[in-house]
Amino acid sequence: MANEGTLALDTENANPIPTTATETAPELSIIVPTFNEAANVTELVKKLDECLGGVRWEVIFVDDNSPDGTADRVRDLARQDTRVRCLHRVGRRGLSSACVEGMLSSSAPYMAVMDGDLQHDETRLPEMLDLLRNSDVELVYGSRYTEGGGIGDWDESRALISRVATKLSRLILKSDISDPMSGFFMLRREVLGNTVDKLSQIGFKILVDILSSANPPLKTASVAYEFRTRSEGESKMDNHAAMDYLMLLFDKMFGHIVPARFVSFTIVGGTGIFIHLAVMYLLFQVGKLEFVAAQAIATLIAMTSNFTINNFLTYHDRKLTGWGWIKGLVTFNLACSIGAITNVGIASYIFAMETQWILASLAGIIVGAVWNYAVTSVYTWKSA
């Protein structure tokens, strides 16, 4: 019979677990999504070690195949410190999905999310953990907009963007919090378990995604922190981030009816109509090229335009480059050609049933658009 205190019981599987294992298992996992942060990861681990004395912690860097060797640097650190882990993703990008995968790879009862650029104040982590340990709070977030917090050296334009984004978040949030755009927070494992199936995982505002997915609304608390100035690397904020945020808002409001990507795909398709007509005018009316040749060239240019814009915007997280771009263009044009045939066939069939021409035409357009979106999502921009 085992000595008292040497074994713990796994009640789910009724198997004994060595007490030493439960004593060394991490209580807190810190999830750090990275892209080109090789210059910062060593300093971040050092800072975490300094501020988390007495806490059993681990840090999971989720790297999206950074060309600067971030994943290799993390693996070097992991060989020296077993609290450091690397989750290396290839073929996909996105901060929100990286955070979710990192949290799902953890077994800790508490999980924190923070950036790898040293702009979040890691010294606030112990206070966040104490709030979760000693109250019924389910999620604690770092706030730049409460007493003691601040946005650092942001210029007025970035501050304005943050304020506008915060106001827009009220369209979908179920919790009234001071800084929903914060990327610095800690939560109980149960929160992820209860929301993960509802998360959109679009873009970079994972906190907004979690808060808007939780039902009932989460019990939250905040700790103030000052946003630091980045010392190494480059900011990831760009036009894609704004597009992703708008897609996230749309998806949380209407995603149960129509996917946000489909809306973007359809809007891009609409621009192709104008490009097609403009090319036709130049070739047929101005250049006097015969109609069939002008139509064929205009169709090819419009399809190429649609593919390029979708690759840059709608599917930028799966962006195709090099030979992948050429292969993608071919599969996109093939899919859209079949979609065009389907469009005409459906419209003609419905029109033959003495339906109004505009309704028949719209039916064909809708069926063709759904076909193009479904097929290109799988074969052109297939997810990893």
Domain boundaries, the chain: 9-248, 260-379
User: What average pLDDT score do residues 225-237 get?
Assistant: 69
Decide if domain 9-248 falls under CATH 3.50.50.60: no
Q: Which of the residue ranges 76-85, 99-108, 161-170 would you say has the lowest mean pLDDT?
A: 161-170
Quote the strand ranges of the chain, DSSP E. 7-10, 15-18, 28-34, 57-63, 84-88, 110-113, 139-143, 185-188, 220-224
Q: Which single residue is written with the structure tokens 């901060």?
A: 95
145 vs 50, more confident:
50
Q: How many other C-beta atoms can be found within 10 angstroms of the C-beta atom of residue 47?
A: 15
Q: Residue 316, exposed/middle/buried by CB under 10 A (0-12, 13-18, 19+)? A: middle
Region of poorest pLDDT, from 58-62, 63-67, 312-316? 312-316
Report the mean per-residue pLDDT for the chain. Answer: 84
Closest CA to 125 of 36, 204, 3, 27: 27
Give 154's pLDDT tier (boundaries 50, 70, 90). Answer: confident
Residue 27 has pLDDT above 90, yes or no: yes
Sheet holding 220-224, edge to edge: 84-88, 57-63, 28-34, 110-113, 185-188, 139-143, 220-224
CA distance 121 to 64: 23
| pTM greater than 0.85 | no
Give me the pLDDT at residue 291, please.
78
Query: Is 384 a residue whose pLDDT tops 50?
Result: no
| pLDDT number for residue 4 | 44
pLDDT band at 125 (very low <50, low <70, confident <90, very high): very high
